Structure 1
């Protein structure tokens, strides 16, 4: 494990006490350590955590409406703090959200980023994300659901409670225990409004139906965000970022084949089967295929290890 600055100083002093280094050498090492800290500041390694989080969001492909929303929320919090300094009335901001989008459009990833951002902005104590679904909230008998839902809420306090496929809570009608989960959740949101943010997520059409079936929810979730499907060019860009993070690269032929696979996938199954999650699965399969291709070679170059070729990508499957 790398040593932090304090640990490095202690190690230098320990070596001095043991006689491993002279006092002159110890001073030289301590001076180098101080210089290293200054270099880190110059390079921006110690920059504002809010700026680091926003930068992380801005490097994501697409999501322009989310990026605009973050600008608004950040500006609002900043101005409210300034109003408080000037002894003016301060407005509270209801942050509960609805995320509507197909799988692989970045809903969970964005929720994690928002949790960390809201902590740094002072809106949440912990800044963690608690991911749950219907099975985590709905019980099997009367009273069990309220107990399970309250337990999930308690584990999310100080952060974000992210309920995926939230529309499933209303699928059984009025007699289903899902309604009890919604009622318990609404009360918990009110009781913990200063230290809990709830995000309901799911497919666009299903979420619209869910909100229509329970009109009271709309007013409690004032921020509703549509996660648009990525176009093919954006998916190729996402693919290139994913392989770059793993220290791989696509050959020109592989990139062209990836485009063709994604195009065929969308023609056969629709956009919900051709988003970032699909790209990730294709890349992981390609890396395994590349390993099979290379393992029998006598000499393997660094370029070989890094390059995903056209033949490494899986065969195109077309649904008729």
Structure 2
């Protein structure tokens, strides 16, 4: 290849020369940009990511606080410990199961020592939770030797002839005289009576929290239903959802089922219709019917 031939290859028109000059200029500028500019400083984080990262310290602090959190205990009756409650207290599954098995026999623990005997919890755990045990009032009336206090004004002495009185006319003082009932439980019975508008069956005392089978047996001996109280009956076919759910034996879900049944099947004619509804307390149907107007 001759020199003239090579020289011919480098001959450009004016417009080509301008284009080559511009290209070289761009290359040089880009080189300077790459050399002098720090592209790391120009990268920007996602604003949402930055927002969450700014909260990281608060999140970490909250986790640490939660890790160090110790649940505050309030007085409770150990007879009614649930699975979750037992777990939170530090009881093992076996210890909780022993308590459940004991309660299924319709028995109650009445002291911290009896609780440990039934559940076999350790001394250290018992010492931690026992100060929060709260037993029914009648238990606190026991003497240290395990017998009950003798109330001098007891109305129903063991050798006296028992005259049963109407539970709907009983006063707090009448109830307290009964073996095993204290002031708190007597008030609880009276409050239950007021909610219902009166008892229609002695069996309803089973719905009062804190009454043991022995105490209920005593109540059955000393009280009766002489006559039905003047009840404000619930119009089962026209009562609203709110009115139905306020009745002691109709919880909100059952009240909804009753309203649904009415809308689909028409008027409820008798208690047998109500028994068909899912969740209805069939075992209490006889006295629930007395509070309803069909």
Same fold by TM-score greater than 0.5? no
Point out the structure with the larger strand share.
1
Report the structure number with the largest CA radius of gyration: 2
TM-score (norm 2): 0.28
